[in-house]
């Protein structure tokens, strides 16, 4: 038991900047990061969690820390683990237009044990999500699950003034989810990324595409964050790491252009002369898998 607990540390609330508290992710159930931005007038929740239980634990930790309960929530994207807590959130929920449209579809889907195989069979969910969903919610809980629709919808940008703290949500898209939104707290140099930097898990082979990955990195780079919360990373992601990733990805595409099509056995070695080998090994396979895809 001890070993299992250590392998999957529970979600905990940590203050990471002047105005931002991070509710850390948990890998056993694939619970993503949540966060609360606290202003003088209002607290704002970032993502609503993988279940009413996950949301409840976050809000209990917020209360125990003596923080004002969040009156509104913003969603990063419509994947189950970021939205299944929605019915338990009593405040207003804000979402990008595509996120709202996907929630409207998902609320008609059958997520019960009997229904999950059909969702995987036709690609609405994938084996990965079908494995984790039953760890977070029982069959009975999924049968009773109601996905309510967001209260407010935006297209490109949504802004809130929480009282001395400005928050901007930006639609960035990318390979992981077309509806992906990042939430920026510029005064704290903080960016909540959701899963936007992840590759496309829904593709037959995990991939990045040049047409989505490069514009995403350019948008994130422009925001110039010092510190970032990623959906499923138990460590914070730093501005320096974003700069290193962006440099590698740009270099990888221009090196690929230079080498032309066909086998490129020297590519990895070439890139590791200029970039950390671990970063190259994590990033290059999905770049190659998506090279000819749009
Ligand atoms: Zn996701």
> How far does residue 84's CA lie from ligand 1's centre (Å)?
12
> How far does residue 174's CA lie from ligand 1's centre (Å)?
11
> How far does residue 79's CA lie from ligand 1's centre (Å)?
5
> How far does residue 176's CA lie from ligand 1's centre (Å)?
6
> How far does residue 261's CA lie from ligand 1's centre (Å)?
32
The phi and psi torsions of 102 (rounded to 5 degrees) equal -70, -40
- Rounded Cα–Cα distance for residues 181 and 79 (Å): 12
Per-residue pLDDT of the chain (294 residues; tens, 9 = 90+): 444 556 788 999 999 999 999 999 999 999 999 999 999 999 999 999 999 999 999 999 999 999 999 999 999 999 999 999 999 999 999 999 999 999 999 999 999 999 999 999 999 999 999 999 999 999 999 999 989 999 999 999 999 999 999 999 999 999 999 999 999 999 999 999 999 999 998 888 899 999 999 999 999 999 999 999 999 999 999 999 999 999 999 999 999 998 887 778 889 999 999 999 999 999 999 999 999 887
* Token pair in block for residue 260: 């032309």
- Residues whose CB falls within 8 Å of the CB of residue 222, separated by 6 or more in sequence, listed in order: none
> How far does residue 112's CA lie from ligand 1's centre (Å)?
20
> How far does residue 16's CA lie from ligand 1's centre (Å)?
23
Is the Cβ–Cβ distance between 21 and 58 less than 8 Å? Answer: no
> How far does residue 260's CA lie from ligand 1's centre (Å)?
33
Is the Cβ–Cβ distance between 11 and 59 less than 8 Å? Answer: no
- Residues whose CB falls within 8 Å of the CB of residue 126, separated by 6 or more in sequence, listed in order: 120, 201, 202
pTM of the model: 0.95
> Domain locations in the chain?
2-107+146-238
What class is the 2-107+146-238 domain?
alpha beta
């Amino acid at each position: 038991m001890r070993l299992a607990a250590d392998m999957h540390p529970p979600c905990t609330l940590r203050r990471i900047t002047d105005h931002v508290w991070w509710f850390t992710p948990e890998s056993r159930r694939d619970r993503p990061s949540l966060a609360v931005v606290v202003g003088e007038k209002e607290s704002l929740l970032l993502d609503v969690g993988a279940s009413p239980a996950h949301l409840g634990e976050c809000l209990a930790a917020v209360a125990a820390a003596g923080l004002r309960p969040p009156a509104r929530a913003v969603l990063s994207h419509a994947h189950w683990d970021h939205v299944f807590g929605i019915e338990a959130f009593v405040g207003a929920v804000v979402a990008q237009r595509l996120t709202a449209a996907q929630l409207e579809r998902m609320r008609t889907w059958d997520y019960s044990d009997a229904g999950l195989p059909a969702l995987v069979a036709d690609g609405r969910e994938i084996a990965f999500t079908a494995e984790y969903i039953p760890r977070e919610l029982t069959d009975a809980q999924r049968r009773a699950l109601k996905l309510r629709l967001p209260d407010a919808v935006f297209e490109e940008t949504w802004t809130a003034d929480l009282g001395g703290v400005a928050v901007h949500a930006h639609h960035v898209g990318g390979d992981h989810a077309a509806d992906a939104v990042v939430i920026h707290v510029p005064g704290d140099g903080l960016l909540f990324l959701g899963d936007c930097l992840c590759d496309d898990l829904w593709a037959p082979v995990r991939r990045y595409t040049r047409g989505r990955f490069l514009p995403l990195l350019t948008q994130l780079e422009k925001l110039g964050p010092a510190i970032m919360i990623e959906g499923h990373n138990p460590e914070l992601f730093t501005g320096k790491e974003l700069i290193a990733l962006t440099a590698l990805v740009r270099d990888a595409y221009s090196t690929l252009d230079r080498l032309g099509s066909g086998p490129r056995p020297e590519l990895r070695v070439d890139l590791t002369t200029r970039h950390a080998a671990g970063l190259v090994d994590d990033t290059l396979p999905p770049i190659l898998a998506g090279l000819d895809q749009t």
